[in-house]
Structure 1
Amino acid sequence: MAALQASQKDGNKEDEAICNAYLALTHKRLLHLKEFMKYAETSYDIANSIKSNRAKAFANTAMGYLKSYTDDKSQALTFFLKAYALFNTMQSDDQSAKLGADISYLFSPNSQEKVKKYADEGLSFAEKSGNPESILHARLAVGSYLSDLVAAGETNRWQEAVSFFNQTITFIEKNEAKIDSKSNIGVAYINLAALYMNGPKPIDEQAFLLALEKALIIGKQYGIKSVYRSSMGLRGQYYVAKGDYRTAESLFKEGISYQQNLPYKDNYLLAAFYDCLKNIAAEEKDYKAYHEYDTFFIKYNTLKYDESTQQILQNADAKYESEKKMVRIQQLEQENKLQKKNQLLGYGISAVLLIGLIFMYRSYYFRQRYHQKREDFLQQQQANNELKMELLEKETLENLAEKLSLERRLLQSQMDPHFIFNALGNIQGMILRKDMDLAVLYLGKFAKLSRKVLEQSRMETITLEEEIQTLENYIELQQLRLNQSFDYQIALASSVDEQLHIPPLLIQPFIENAIEHGLKPLEAFQKGMLSISFEEEQEENLLICTIKDNGIGLTASRKQKTDDSHRSLSTKITDERLLLMLKDNSQAKLEVRELTLDHDGQQGCMVTLYIPIL
């Protein structure tokens, strides 16, 4: 701050821009989003007002980290690549090394070729600079690339990755006093331990535990939550996988106790530890302990979710304000260009007047008309730009409010209250009948389904594979509840990729309707059948989901309803979501058709969803 005040006093705009960039990065580490955004944008404004590549490089770096912080990867890459090119031109190896590493992270996992390119370039610049801090930062990027290759199935690269991280650890031990970013040291040990755990079996237990112990020391000594969390979690998972539940339980309880004694609790970590303790209790069939741990898990998971939601909203507000300001800056730049053009025209007019007084009156007359038209044009363009900004602000706020409202209503309506009531009633009946194994199975499936619904309701997209897993869990619960009175099958066309992305929780309401209003009312002697199929129209970029049942049909179902005004809230919200999707894909739609009696006496209903692939 003192350097910023000195630069302002001296009127040195280049130093002022750079000082603002450094202050932005300082507030980034302190998690002060408003201050981070203010100093980053101030640095960018000042840098663009002067001719200094050095100021522009630091300003674009600060803006890149701001966009990355608010999850705007595309804009982050744009700013980082500009800064990277400028620092390369200035031969600033230290800054180029850090940016090369961070750019490689942003390209992961979509472009492994670019991940490798920028990670290798970053390490090359770091070694030229000789700065231990930059070298470690770049080595972690290269190590992350190697670890990703191993995780993707290239097991032949495992030994190369382990050797690289062992070399990194040796480098750390020689230069630890010169490395300020202690979190990077902890990350190096965590990554090495993760490689051992996921490598060939049996693992090198001594090396694995030693790496975690060093990471744990770093996490505790410097209060680095992520390092401490990963160290305790990996160690606990190792002992759980090994079957040593007592050691794993002791580690998780030790982690909980440590967190409880801190002034600021890590709700994410506490929820994760209680979830692990729940799993251990379930394995040992200690239902009393399971209930106790589940109570605490729900408490901290709710707190974690509230914190996450608050962060998402805060980032969304910051992103909107930043984009609004960028539009305004572009408008001002356009106005400045027009003013410069008018200035040049004024000089031209003066030159013409100086050439000869004989043409003065004529020149003055026509030039006045030209300026009047130009002024009218500028006023009209400024009015149009202001109108565009007002429309952009209104549309952005309306879309954000509509989206948040729709997602909130979807989350509240997905689990039908009647289904939850019946599920809990069935569990109670099983417990009263002392059918404990079935009750635990039913409760586990119900808890898993509830968690999946909560998690996926917060996501923009999920894979088709995840959607099918959630549907299978839901249908199996319904089979248990209805005493296996119906069967089901899910079929995928050979051309359908299970990893394609679709909006979450879009299909479940129609499965629920087919079971509740079609299959459930069937006579006891009739066996229900639910068929779900998926096909892909690549030209239209659509996934076609067909849901067919052999239930009583739409006409008979409507006759059985006592309240004609009732309509499934989740189905209504799904219709609203489809209407929103029409803005991006005009082919998104829903078709419902009643199946008439065939020669075998079969009837039912068929629903066809045309879902945009995201």
Structure 2
Amino acid sequence: MNKIVFFLLLFVISCQQKPGKIVINQEKMLENLQVMSDSLDQNPQIDKLAFWSGKLKQKDFSKTGSALAYIHYNLAKNLAKSNIDSSKNHINIALNLIEKEKGFNALKFTVYNGAGLISEHEGKFYQSVYYFNKSAAIIMNDDSLKCKPLAKVICLLNAAQDNNKISQYPKSIEQNQLALKILKKMPEDHYKYNFRAYSQLFTACEESNIYKADSLLFYLKKLKHISVKTNDPMQIRFTNEHTAHYYTLSSQYNEAIHYYSLVKQYDAGILSADPESPVAIKNLYTTIANLIDLRVHAEQFPEAEVLIKQADKIEGRHLQILSYYEKCLNKQAKLHYYLAKGDNFRAQNETSEVLELKDNILRNSGIQATEEMATIYELQAKDKSIYGLNKTIDYTTNRLERNKLLLFIVGLLALLAVSWVLLLYFFQRQKRQKQEKEKVLLQQQLLRTQMEPHFIFNTLSALQSFIRFDEKEKSIKYLSQFSKLLRSSLELSRKNYVPLDQELEAIENYLSLQQMRFEYAFAYEIITPDTDTSALLIPPMLIQPFVENAIIHGIGNHSDKGAIIIEIFSQENQLLVKITDNGKGYESTSNAKPNHQSLSGTIARERLAILAKENSIKTNIEIISNEKGTVVLLTLPVRNQRY
């Protein structure tokens, strides 16, 4: 027994010593490969694909994860333009290899950035955002990172650009500012990247909730200075566009029209040079839509009408090229035009089309995000222990051959075999549980995206009613308030759990809109518990559908003064919500049955079933309806964000 313990201790000590040697060898191999790569860049005549394919076949690199990852990265880089499928395969292998290694931040930065570029080339936006942010995070957290400064700058700018698109403005501002800091330390003047950084900072500052005029003016001056110095037509174009945005924010519409007209002139020239260019078509179409809005604000209706005809002409010729977002931008501009002209019939038609386009935008973005993030989860869910076990087995075999300890070999292999089976069983079970949880989360996300269009269609019915009866002031006021509610709803729907006070604020906003719709035919009251509601987290968009039913089915046909009471009761891990109305009940509204359910109610039940399974707690929806009114009792899961 003592001999066996001695041999095991000897084996453990040797295992602890060996990895240090492997790390040194890996670093030297990786350094040599990087020198080779720099030499290849200086000799464009050399077939880089053949060179790296040859390196892949060499046995020296088969057991070194970092060097092998670097080879696969270079293969992916050289195959990106000619064979995207093979390129994607190599970058996935590189990701799998490098994530098993400790350290090697410079290589991880390079591989993540490459994965982001390949995902961007494939049109997988959310995957590219994921990898660019991982790469940028390494730069931001490791000041000693050894890689080319320009590569850092390009990665940070790519990540910042994508973060602007998903409204992550603070992160985008931080990444752009770090890119500018690196550029200042470089010996050469990189006007192209300085311009891009200031342009993205202008956009982030403009679109964020905190509007700082001084910051916008500072970035605008920087853009003008660079564009004048380079005399680059594209930079001049974007500088004019940002200048137009600046004047629009300060309501100086004539100045904004002047600069947007310069942008339109440039875009029209590009399209004239290449009439089939999708980018040129989209840019001109979007510029015209923005000009229509500006002309309407400036009450220049004849000019706006000319622009509408131009936009319609482009749309008629290139309908398939234009995205839902670009069409929606144009439809909104036309809606504002018809509202300003008092043409309520056409305004109502444009409202319906805008609603349909926004529905498509929400649906498509939700589906795309779900599919792409599911792929990322699958990449991350790989069993990393198998690679470590195989490496340990190879090392153990070599050591046993050198020492010729036959009894120890048999016992150790048997022990490793049993451990391998047990670990494999354990990790497979963990993997199945993780995949089941991810599946439940994705189902919740899909159900929320189903609920949002229903919520939007029901709420806009009031706006259509105001427009139909030519109540212009009410229409504008209602549209403004509804846009705030829609923004709040979209922000809440992106999260799995939201603070109770934010959810109740959105519901109160919704109730006030419905009061306008029904001409204050009902009153409402929201009774909250004594506890801090901001610390209680609940699933979003579950209470609102039943409040909506209380208004439509309970109060909508009530002849007297209606009333709606929402009471919140907090328990340990549950939240009880009681929604009471004094309507005539389901029996007297359209002869509906007491167990009548709307589409949103059905979706809410499905979501609660998923949440109950995920949290292992009881959830419930109980509806009691009679001639005196209707009571809805909701049992929801709750979390406390303090813990």
Is the 1:40–1:59 Cα contact (8 Å) retained in structure 2?
yes
Q: Deviations over 1:477-523 (max 9, x none)?
A: 3x25xxx543346689999899999755433332234335544575x
SS of 2:523's partner is strand
Residues 288-309 of structure 1 show CA distances to partners (whole Å, capped at 9, x for unaligned) of 54466567657xx45x755764
Give the C-alpha shift of residue 97 in structure 1. Answer: 1.3
Which deviations, in whole Å up to 9, do the C-alpha atoms of 1:94-138 show, x marking residues without a partner?
21111233444549434588446524334436x545444433333
Counterpart for residue 563 of structure 2? 529
Matches for 1:177-216 after TM superposition, within 5 Å: 186-199=237-250, 201=252, 204-205=255-256, 208-209=259-260, 212-213=263-264, 216=267
User: Unaligned 5+ residue runs, structure 2?
Assistant: 1-43, 57-67
What is aligned with 2:513? 473
In 2, distance between residues paired with 1:94 and 1:230?
32
Alpha-carbon deviations, 1:316-362, whole Å to 9, x = none? 33432343233326244323443354246425xx33x4xxxxxxxxx
- Deviation of residue 142 (structure 1)? 4.1
1:570 aligned to 600, 608, 621, which one? Answer: 600
CA deviation after TM superposition for structure 1 residue 266, in Å: 0.5
Q: Structure 1 residues 157 and 444 mapped into 2: Cα distance closer, same or farther (>3 Å)?
A: closer
Partner AA of 2:548 in structure 1: E
Map 1:203-602 onto structure 2 (within 5 A).
204-205=255-256, 208-209=259-260, 212-213=263-264, 216-217=267-268, 220=271, 223-224=278-279, 227-262=283-318, 264-268=320-324, 269-290=326-347, 293=350, 301-302=356-357, 305-306=359-360, 309-310=363-364, 312-328=366-382, 330-343=384-397, 345-346=399-400, 350-351=402-403, 353=404, 363-393=405-435, 396-397=438-439, 400-401=442-443, 403-404=445-446, 406-407=447-448, 410=451, 436-437=469-470, 459-461=493-495, 464=503, 466-477=506-517, 479=518, 485-488=521-524, 505-515=541-551, 518-519=554-555, 524=559, 526-531=560-565, 547-551=579-583, 563=593, 566-582=596-612
Q: Report the secondary structure of 1:70's partner residue.
A: helix
2:39 aligns to what?
A: none
In structure 1, stretches of 5+ residues that fail to align are 177-181, 354-362, 597-601
- How far has the Cα of 1:79 moved from its partner? 3.2
Counting matched residue pairs gives 562
CA root-mean-square deviation:
5.5
Contact 1:449 1:473 in 2 (8 A): yes
Range with bigger deviation, 153-162 or 487-496: 487-496
Cα distance in 1, alignment partners of residues 251 and 218 from structure 2: 13
Confirm whether residue 136 of structure 1 aligns to residue 136 of structure 2. no
Shift of 1:210: 5.5
CA distance in 2, matches of 1:455, 1:61: 33
| Cα pair 2:359 2:453 within 8 Å, conserved | no
Conserved 8 A contact 2:223-2:239: yes
Partner of 2:23: none
Alignment partner of 2:169: what SS? coil
- 1:57 is displaced (CA, Å) by 4.0
Aligned to 1:358: none
**Displacement after TM superposition at 1:238 (Å):** 1.6
Once residues 587 and 119 of structure 1 are traced to their aligned partners in structure 2, the CA distance between those partners, rounded to angstroms, is: 48
The one-letter code of the counterpart of 1:196 is: Y
* Structure 2 residue matching 1:487: 3-state secondary structure: strand
Q: What amino acid is aligned across from residue 385 of structure 1 in structure 2?
A: F
Question: Percent of aligned pairs with the same residue?
Answer: 13
CA contact (8 A) 1:119 1:142 kept: no
Maintained 8 Å contact 1:518/1:557: no
Give the counterpart of 1:79 among 113, 123, 135: 135
Residues 550-578 of structure 1 show CA distances to partners (whole Å, capped at 9, x for unaligned) of 456x8x97999774554445334323323
CA contact (8 A) 2:576 2:633 kept: no
Query: Is the Cα–Cα contact under 8 Å of residues 624 and 632 in structure 2 kept in the other structure?
Result: yes
Task: Measure the CA separation in 2 of the matches of 1:138 and 1:295.
Answer: 38
Q: CA deviation at 1:64?
A: 4.0
Deviations 1:416-453 (A, max 9, x none): 99x99x989x96xx99xxx9436996899799979988
Whether contact under 8 Å (1:510, 1:571) holds in the other structure is yes
Contact 1:93 1:128 in 2 (8 A): no
Q: TM-score, normalised by structure 1?
A: 0.70
Q: State the distance in 1 between where 2:462 and 2:256 align.
A: 44
Alpha-carbon deviations, 1:181-205, whole Å to 9, x = none? x6x7754443332122213757745
- The residue type paired with residue 316 of structure 2 is Q
Distance 1:334 1:262 in 2: 55
Give the secondary structure class of the aligned counterpart of 2:563: strand
Return 438-447 or 337-346, whichever deviates more.
438-447
Match of 1:92 among 143, 148, 156: 148
Secondary structure of 1:266's aligned partner: coil
Aligned to 1:59: 111
Give the superposition deviation at 1:235.
Answer: 2.0
In 2, Cα distance between equivalents of 1:245 and 1:611 = 53
Q: 1:202 to 1:143 in 2, by over 3 A?
A: closer
Q: Rate the CA distance shift 1:84–1:587 in 2: closer, same or farther, 3 A.
A: same
**2:178 corresponds to 1:118:** yes
1:197 partner letter: T
Give the 3-state SS of the residue equivalent to 1:250 in structure 2: helix
* Cα 1:83/1:342, change in 2 over 3 Å: farther
Aligned partners of 2:621 and 2:635 also within 8 Å: yes
Contact preservation (8 Å) 1:98, 1:137:
no
Residues 147-181 of structure 1 deviation map (CA, whole Å, 9 limit, x = unaligned)? 467x61433434323312222322441x56xxxxx
In structure 1, C-alpha distance between the alignment counterparts of 2:609 and 2:361, rounded to whole Å: 31
Distance 1:52 1:532, change over 3 A: closer
**Equivalent residue of 2:76, what SS?**
helix
How far apart are the structure 2 equivalents of 1:110 and 1:501? 24
2:106, 2:147 within 8 Å by CA — same for their partners in 1? Answer: no
Distance 2:395 2:77 in 1: 32
Residue range with higher mean Cα deviation, 230-239 or 370-379: 230-239
Q: Distance in 2 between matches of 1:559 and 1:242?
A: 47
The corresponding residue for 1:356 is: none
Aligned match of 1:359: none
Letter matched to residue 528 of structure 1: G
1:154 to 203, 207, 212: 212
Give TM-score, length-normalised by structure 2.
0.67
Q: Distance in 1 between matches of 2:214 and 2:480?
A: 39
Pairwise CA distance, 1:245: 2.3
Distance in 2, matches of 1:92 and 1:7, equals: 23
Judged with a 3 Å threshold, the aligned counterparts in structure 2 of structure 1 residues 54 and 560 are, in CA distance, closer, same or farther, namely: closer
Change (3 A) 1:490 1:275: farther
AA aligned to 1:166 is: K
Deviation, 1:402, is 6.5
Amino acid at match of 2:564: L
Give the deviation of 1:20 after TM superposition.
1.2
**CA pair 185-44 structure 1, distance change in 2 beyond 3 A:** farther
Secondary structure of the 1:328 match is coil
Kindly provide the amino acid, as one letter, of the partner of residue 169 in structure 1: S
Report the Cα distance in structure 1 between the residues aligned to 2:548 and 2:361, rounded to whole angstroms. 32
